[in-house]
A and B are shown apart, each in its own frame.
Chain A
């Protein structure tokens, strides 16, 4: 427990150092803010002291909260980097690695389709092995036929709406 705590404080002091080095001064910000508030209100010393303590503990909460959010922020940045990378790879001139990666994906998809069609066949009416195979093939045919017609229909719908708009 205490070990974990010291780890957290280590991390905290390192972050603080980084921030300080960066000339940002998040700690400075809170003090600055508190000072600004105090100047505005013109508070007497005892109240000022209480206010400072309050600001201090709020600061502590902020710092603790910041530690928790850094992990989330990090993963969000990494996630976005991954998205940009994918996007970039789609746009750049194709390389052998890209083609290989694509081939791998196609292979994976093919395996999935095979599995799915097998599952479909298994679910279907239990027939003789040969009949099952034929049924699966027929189902596949229907599926492949269906897709393009649906596409056509939607593109037709689109073109009519755009005509209507015009």
Chain B
């Protein structure tokens, strides 16, 4: 048997090797995430939240505070690191949950067609008719005992439909191919065809969608938190640090309170999208081959 070396992951590695900038972006992204998760373990949350009235709004590099302090005298560097971890965690959970729901429903809608397809797609159509950003804000306000977990669920409610659309469309294409037909003729059970044949073949496309989904979840999470409808006030996050700029005096006189968070968010978004582009190029290379 001839071993086909040109798999998706082989192409991905090749793309990374030939584009040093993409390589840099992927490494930077992984380092930021790893640093945020590991360093957060060393941060004492109670000490971080202790208000220090003498050290308010200190500029960076004073008294051993790398990025200075905020209006409560809290260490901005530590807030930022824990905030990056929290925001990434939210974005990851939203993306994981939505993609799990979306992939399963999408494959089933595309594979079985008929009633399953109709019901799923009508639900998808209906949710996509609602202005999602506005509904998310209303749900966040109305829900009782608001927690970060509920915040994730609200975001998932409007996020899964994108995955369904994409997976359904590619399942419709993939399902017409001969190997699926052959499996059906041989009497392979449907769940085996779906989970052992269809989904593994859609992995490259799914991974592209998940990376882009991560970027959009991060944007929505930080955006909602910026407006004051995201993570609760006692949880540090990127959006919360940026939202301190909503006070005019902070925006004008203490840019170090929000500027680092803006910068880190921008760098992460660029890295995530660069990773997405690399995956996309690897996909196209596979199609060409």
- Answer whether A and B are interacting partners: no
